[in-house]
Amino acid sequence: MEIEFSPQGTLAERIRAGGVGLGGILVDVGIDNEIVAKGKQIIPVDGTNYLLEKPLTADVSIIFAKKCDPFGNLVYDKSARNMNPLVAMAGKFTIAEVEEIVPLGELDPEEIVTPGIYVDMIIKSKGVNWNWVWE
């Protein structure tokens, strides 16, 4: 197993790059840190050096959404919108666990964040009873 540390913004962009098929992204974060820069290609652009961060993909992506329709169009709640859409795009096979599956046509197209083309399997969540936290 190999562990690689990456700032959250760089991580998000690497996942996005993997999802959209880019060959990588250029960042200046960590360029002066030998641990971060170790083994990475340095690319000069207009007199400024950047690290080449390669894209991230996954054989299987597992995400969570609030609602979906039978086509796999996903609606997220709150901060789930941050990384889940990117992770869905970067997976070769994406599994979405959802709280609620609604009939086709019930989702407002404006609230759909991840189109069903990126979702290969839908699993209805059994849910978690969080009431014990407040007792």
Q: Sheet harboring 25-27: ordered strands across?
A: 25-27, 48-53, 42-45
- Quote the pTM value: 0.85
pLDDT at position 130 is 56
**Alpha helices, DSSP H only, in 23-108?**
34-37, 84-90
**Residue 7, pLDDT score:** 86
CB 106 within 8 A of CB 75: no
Contact 79, 121 (CB under 8 A): no
Across the chain, which has 135 residues, the per-10-residue mean pLDDT values are 84 96 95 87 96 96 96 95 96 96 96 97 81 54
pLDDT at 116: 97
How many alpha carbons lie under 13 Å from residue 58 in its C-beta half-sphere?
Answer: 17
pLDDT number for residue 17: 98
Give the Å distances, CA to CA, from 95 to 78, 89, 120. Answer: 20, 11, 6
pLDDT the model gives residue 34: 84
